[in-house]
Amino acid sequence: MSVTSRYRDAWEGFWREAPEEQGAVFWDASPTQTVGLHLALFEPKLRDPGLQMIDLGCGNGTQTRFLADRFNHVLGVDLSAAAIDHARHADPAGQATYRLLDATDKTEVETLHAELGDANVYMRGVLHQVDPEDRQQLVDGIATLVGERGQVFLVELAEAARPIIGGLAQDPEGPPAKLAPILRHGIAPGEVADDEVPELLRAAGLTILASGELPLITTEFRADGARIELPSKWHIAGRATS
C-alpha cells in the first residue's frame, strides 16, 4: 500500500512554494530546540549507534544535517521530491544523503532495508499528517527499517495540540503567516489520539523502551510575541531483547 496521490500532491505543492531559508517553515525550528533535545533522550538508549540513522520525513533537511554532525551515516528520506530538492540545496557539502521514500509502501521500505541493513530512525511530527488508514502501514515500515538492532525515536503532537492549532487557524485576523500555507495546501494537522501511537508501535512488533512529553517548538510567534509551542509526546521503541 502507498499513500494517495492527493496526499503526495499536497506536499509537493507545499514544498515547491516553501522559501529556501531556514526557519521560514512553521516547524523548521533550530536543531538545538528540536532534534538536539530529542537526541539527549534517544542517544543514550541506542543499542548500536553505528547503524545508519534515518531522518524519516526530513523535509528540507535542517534536522538531518544536525544528525549528520553526530553520526557517521545519516540518510534523510521524504515523500516529496521538492522537499528533497530543498534538503540537497541546503547541504552543498553533502553532510547527509537524501532520497525519496514512501514509508507506507512495503516494497520501497523492504528495498531500503535490504540496502542499508538495520537502522536507527528519527521521526518528528509526521504521523499526525498521515491519513488514519495509512498510519499502521507507516509504523510497520519503521519496524522494517529498524529490524532487530535498530530503534526509533518518534515524537508526535499530543491531543492537546489540536485545539491550539484550531484556535490559530480560526483567528479573526487570519492564521499566522507560516501556518497559512499548510492549511492552504490541505495538509492541516490531523488528530492522533495519545494512546494510538503506543498501540501502533506494539502492533508493528516494537516494544516501547521509554516515553515522555516535551513541547514541540515552532518558528512562529503569537501576536504578543510569544513563540508558539505545541504539546507533544515522544516514544523510544525497538525489538524486545531476550
Q: Are 79 and 3 in contact (CB under 8 A)?
A: yes
pTM: 0.95
Beta bridge partners of 216: 230
What pLDDT, on the 0 to 100 scale, is given for residue 39?
Answer: 94
Mean pLDDT of 21-42: 92
Judge whether residue 190 has pLDDT over 70.
no
Q: How confident is the model at residue 188 (pLDDT cuts 50, 70, 90)?
A: low
Judge whether residue 189 has pLDDT over 70.
no
| Residues 6+ away with beta carbon under 8 Å from 66 | 31, 35, 36
Q: How confident is the model at residue 235 (pLDDT cuts 50, 70, 90)?
A: very high
Mean pLDDT of 127-140: 91
Q: Which residues of 143-159 are buried (b: 16+ CB within 10 A; e: fewer)?
A: bbbbeebbbbbbbbbbe
Tell me whether strands 227-238 and 207-221 are parallel, antiparallel or unpaired: antiparallel
Q: How confident is the model at residue 242 (pLDDT cuts 50, 70, 90)?
A: low
* Distance, CA of 79 to chain centre: 11
What pLDDT, on the 0 to 100 scale, is given for residue 4?
Answer: 67
Angle (CA) 83-87-91 rounded to 5° is 170
What pLDDT, on the 0 to 100 scale, is given for residue 44?
Answer: 94
What pLDDT, on the 0 to 100 scale, is given for residue 177?
Answer: 84
Q: Are 238 and 209 in contact (CB under 8 A)?
A: yes
For 41-94, write each residue's pLDDT tens digit: 999 999 999 999 999 999 999 999 999 999 999 999 999 999 999 999 999 999
Judge whether residue 222 has pLDDT over 70.
yes
Judge whether residue 144 has pLDDT over 90.
yes
Q: How confident is the model at residue 162 (pLDDT cuts 50, 70, 90)?
A: confident
Q: How confident is the model at residue 1 (pLDDT cuts 50, 70, 90)?
A: very low
